């Protein structure tokens, strides 16, 4: 059951969006996030919507999957919406009851905030749907390399992320096994109050942690045996190249940015 949980939500493919250099995608994502905060009116959101729809179409990711990313945080979106409606103080009072006052500006603001969240979620999930976690880690490591100058351990962070990505499926599989083994011996993980359930987790977590530490120990040994000694003088097999597709992508984002700025000024 736990095995079905896939890490991230990467959808392998060969579309133009998939083939873009992850570094470029990551940087364009930063620009996109800025745009989401710059947008002033509905026209601006229409521009962003057109951009997202176009990219999604090119990437051949089904809209269903894009919207799925909103689901887990739907509650937060709705809460932001409701709170903003009730607590925003504007000028044009539409409706008043007890201490609740709803202003026209409040509705507008609430809608904008909700849209902003949705656009952020859909945009970032478009990135994670078309880029493998490994490629993202790789891109981050290369983009953040200058931070080495201020002694930020860029390579080490990236290596930690890689190892986490590598071992999450293994540990999930192991958790599954332990749960089954303990259930077979009469352990009960699903009933009882919170405290009882937390207690039931102990025989699950203890062996899991013990094994994780043993794995870490053995992996460290195996990495050393294969000459790992940190990021110095290390080369990479996969080279990243900025190609025509990337320039096209940059151009599209540039146009979108121009339009959004225009909308803001008008």
Partner 1 sequence: MEIIRVSDVYYEYENPDEPADMAVKGVSLTVQKGEWLSIIGHNGSGKSTLVKLLNGLFLPKSGAVLVDNIDTRDEQRIWDVRQKVGMIFQNPDNQMVATIVEEDVAFGLENLGVPPQEIQRRVYQALKAVGMTQYAASAPHMLSGGQKQRVAIAGVLAMKPDVILMDEPTAMLDPSGRREVMDTVQRLHEEEGMTVVLITHFMEEALRGDRVIVMEKGQTVMEGEPAQVFSQVERLKDIGLDVPPMTELAHRLRAHGIDVHGAPMNVEEMVEELCRLKQEN
| Phi, psi for 103 (deg, rounded to 5) | -105, 155
The residue among 56 and 136 lying less far from partner 1, judged by its C-beta, is 136
Dist. CA 52–CA 253, nearest whole Å:
10
Which residue in the set 95, 152, 213, 228 belongs to the binding site for partner 1 (CB under 8 A)?
Answer: 228
When binding is defined by CB under 8 A, the residue of 73, 163, 200, 208 that contacts partner 1 is 163
Among 90-98, 100-108, 149-157, 169-177, which window interacts with partner 1 (CB under 8 A)? 169-177
Burial 9-47 (b: 16+ CB within 10 A, else e): ebbeeebbbbebbbbbbbbbbeebeebbeebeeeebbeb
CB of 61 to partner 1, least distance (A): 20
Rounded-to-integer distance, Cα 126 and Cα 53, Å? 10
Q: Is 222 in the site for partner 1 (CB under 8 A)?
A: yes
What is d(CA 12, CA 69) in angstroms, rounded to the nearest whole number? Answer: 17
Q: Select the span of 54-62, 68-76, 140-148, 167-175 touching partner 1 (CB under 8 A).
A: 167-175
**Could you report how far apart the first and last alpha carbons of the chain are, in Å?**
53
Phi, psi of 9 (to 5 degrees): -145, 25
String marking each residue 17-56 x if it binds partner 1 according to CB under 8 A: ----------------------------------------
Sign of CA dihedral 48, 59, 75, 194: negative
Judged by CB under 8 A, does residue 176 bind partner 1?
no
* Near partner 1 by CB under 8 A: residue from 221, 242, 254, 261: 221
Residues 79-118, mask of contacts with partner 1 (x by CB under 8 A)? ----------------------------------------
> Which residues lie near partner 1 (CB under 8 A)?
132-134, 162-163, 165-166, 169-170, 173, 214-215, 218-219, 221-229, 233-239
């Amino acid at each position: 059951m736990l095995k079905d949980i896939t890490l991230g939500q990467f959808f392998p493919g060969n579309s133009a969006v998939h083939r873009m250099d992850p570094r470029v995608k990551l940087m364009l994502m930063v620009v996109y996030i800025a745009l989401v905060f710059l947008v002033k009116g509905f026209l601006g959101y229409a521009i962003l919507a057109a951009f997202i729809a176009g990219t999604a179409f090119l990437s051949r990711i089904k809209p269903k999957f894009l919207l799925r990313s909103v689901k887990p945080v739907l509650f937060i979106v709705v809460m932001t919406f409701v709170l903003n409606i009730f607590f925003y103080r504007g000028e044009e009072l539409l409706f008043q009851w007890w201490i609740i006052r709803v202003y026209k500006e409040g509705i507008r603001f609430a809608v904008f905030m909700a849209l902003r969240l949705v656009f952020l979620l859909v945009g970032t999930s478009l990135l994670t749907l078309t880029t493998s976690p490994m490629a993202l880690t790789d891109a981050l490591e290369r983009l953040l390399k200058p931070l080495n100058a201020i002694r930020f351990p860029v390579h080490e962070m990236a290596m930690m992320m890689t190892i986490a990505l590598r071992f999450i499926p293994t540990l999930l599989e192991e958790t599954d096994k332990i749960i089954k083994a303990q259930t077979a011996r009469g352990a009960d993980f699903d009933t009882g109050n919170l405290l009882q359930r937390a207690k039931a987790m102990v025989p699950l977590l203890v062996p899991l942690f013990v094994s994780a530490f043993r794995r870490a120990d053995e992996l460290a040994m195996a990495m050393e045996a294969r000459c790992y000694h940190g990021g110095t003088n290390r080369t990479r097999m996969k080279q990243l190249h900025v190609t025509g597709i990337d320039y096209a992508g940059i151009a599209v984002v540039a146009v979108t940015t121009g339009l959004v700025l225009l909308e803001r000024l008008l």
